[in-house]
Amino acid sequence: MSTTFRRFEILLPLRFNDGKAIPKRLITTTIVELRDKFGAGSCESQSIRGHWQYQGDLFKDELVRVFVDTADTAEHKAYFTEFKETLRQRFEQIDISMVSYPVEVL
């Protein structure tokens, strides 16, 4: 029997907007918080590169993908909506990329 869950996926920066490296403890803290809340959290070790513009300025990002598969509830969606703001402040970012989509666990 399969069960439908929701994956919450976050792209966390490896560098601040000024180019300085983000301390690894901030990524670790984020993963531990997700593990404590949901019982698990995953992070891909490969670097993702992105380019984006904001108010005429070009930003180049190095990112890691962090994700959690959990029950699809309004409570979990609300948690991640608030958590996004926490991460935006923690990583000193204009925005944090966060998406969610249904997943089927076999």
Q: For every one of its 106 residues, what pLDDT tens digit does the chain have, with 9 covering 90 and above?
A: 567 799 999 999 999 988 899 999 999 999 999 999 999 999 998 889 888 788 888 878 899 999 999 999 999 999 999 999 999 999 999 899 999 999 988 8
CA atoms within 13 A on the CB side of 5: 14
What's the pLDDT at 55?
Answer: 86
Whole-model pTM?
A: 0.89
Residue 36 is predicted with a pLDDT of 97
| Confidence (pLDDT) at 7 | 97
pLDDT of residue 35: 97
CATH number for the 7-99 domain, one of 3.40.50.720, 3.30.70.120, 3.30.1360.170, 3.30.43.10? Answer: 3.30.70.120
pLDDT of residue 60: 82
54-70 in b/e burial notation, b at 16+ Cβ within 10 A?
A: eeeeeeebebbbbbbbb
Ranges of each domain in the chain:
7-99
